[in-house]
Amino acid sequence: MRSKALTCSQCQKTLYLLSEDSDLCVCPYCGKSNVLNTSSPLIEGLIPEMMSIIMIGSKFQWNDKEYTVNGRILFLCENGYLMFWYAIAAAGKVWLYESNQDYAVIEKMDDNGLPNLFKGKEIGNKMMYNKEKYLVEFYDQVTETYGEGEAKSLGEIKSKTIVIRCTTLESKVIFAFVIDKLKATILSGTYTSAIDLKLKNTRNVDAWNF
């Protein structure tokens, strides 16, 4: 199903978007990032490596719904990477986080988050968020951003943006992209596993087998 179309600003190819919520589309022909608003991350170009068995068209299960992967954004950091797959179902959209075969389903995004909540936080620190106690397990800085397919913007994330990942004992997870002193994008979700996701239509690459 094609919901809307746009013309690539660089190569003039027609690109079809499957979700009305998508506001970012990386052209598969020339790698140009096409944005439908001004608050999208700065995409360097197409993702240079596959880095996953998941691909556009892969499917997974979550809360009794089947989602189809439609695109992804990859944030390379100074000491690691964070990958977010954008997936749609008949009723609903989620982000599927992946890094080193860790997975989490992101169901909520707050692009007006309070950056002061994360000021001075380091790995191992504890903090409160939405009346729950979290442990900081990842602290890094974005260096480059790549994309593929179509997705919903995660905010004005650019080079040197601080990203913090925090978790609870109940497998809840938040990602905080601290953009500046006044703005942060906060993603909230739940850790899961490839088995529970019941992944289908995955890439057949030996280096990324489970």
Tens of pLDDT, residues 88-131: 998 889 999 998 889 999 999 988 888 888 988 999 999 999 88
What is the predicted pLDDT for the residue at 210?
A: 40
Tell me what pLDDT residue 39 has: 62
Average pLDDT over residues 66-70: 95
pLDDT at position 2 is 56
Q: With beta carbons less than 8 A apart as the criterion, state whether 19 and 70 touch.
A: yes
In terms of pTM, does the model score above 0.75? yes
Q: In a 10 Å sphere around its CB, with 0-12 CB exposed, 13-18 middle and 19+ buried, how is residue 18 labelled? A: middle
Q: What is the pLDDT of residues 45-65, one digit of tens each?
A: 778 777 889 999 999 999 999
Phi, psi of 196 (to 5 degrees): -65, -30
Q: Which of 104, 188, 181, 111 is nearest to 153 (CA)?
A: 111
**Is 183's pLDDT higher than 50?**
yes
- pLDDT (tens digit, 9 = 90+) per residue, 129-174? 988 999 999 999 999 988 899 998 888 888 899 999 999 999 999 9
**Which tokens is 185 given?**
């994008």
**What SS3 state is found at 208?**
helix
Domain locations along the chain: 37-201
Look at the alpha carbons of 21, 183, 180, 191 in this order and tell me if their dihedral is positive or negative.
negative
Average pLDDT, the chain: 88
CA 64 distance to own-chain centroid = 21
pLDDT of residue 94: 95
